[in-house]
Amino acid sequence: MGLFSKKPKAVFVEDAIRGNRTYHVYNAASKSDALEFLDTQTVTEPLHYIAVYTPEGKYGKDINGGYEF
C-alpha cells in the first residue's frame, strides 16, 4: 500500500499591493477547486482580498465573504 499526496486546490502566485489594498493571488484548475480552497481561507482585515483565477472565471473572498468577479 502506498501513500498518496493530495494535489493542492490552489497554487500561490503572488501577494500584490495596490494602493491600500492587499491581494493574495492564486491559480486553480477549476471553479470547484477555487471554491473549495476559498472555503478554507479566513479574511479578518478590511482591504485584504484572496483572488483565485481559473479557466472558468475569477473568484474571491474578503472580510464580507465570497464573490465572483
User: What are the DSSP E strand ranges found in the chain?
Assistant: 11-18, 21-27, 48-54, 57-62, 65-68
pLDDT digits (tens, 9 = 90+) for 24-34: 999 999 999 99
Query: How many structural domains is the chain composed of?
Result: 1
Give yes or no for a contact between 43 and 66, defined as CB atoms under 8 angstroms apart: no
Residue 4 lies in a domain: no
Tell whether 22 is covered by a domain. yes
Residue 5 located in a structural domain: no
Work out the number of other CB atoms within 10 angstroms of the CB of residue 2. 3
Q: Is residue 37 part of a domain?
A: yes
pTM for this prediction: 0.88
In a domain, 6, yes or no: no
Please give the residue range of the domain that contains residue 63: 11-68
Please indicate, yes or no, if residue 61 is contained in any of the structural domains: yes
pLDDT band per the 50, 70, 90 thresholds, residue 5 = low
Q: What is the pLDDT of residue 60?
A: 98
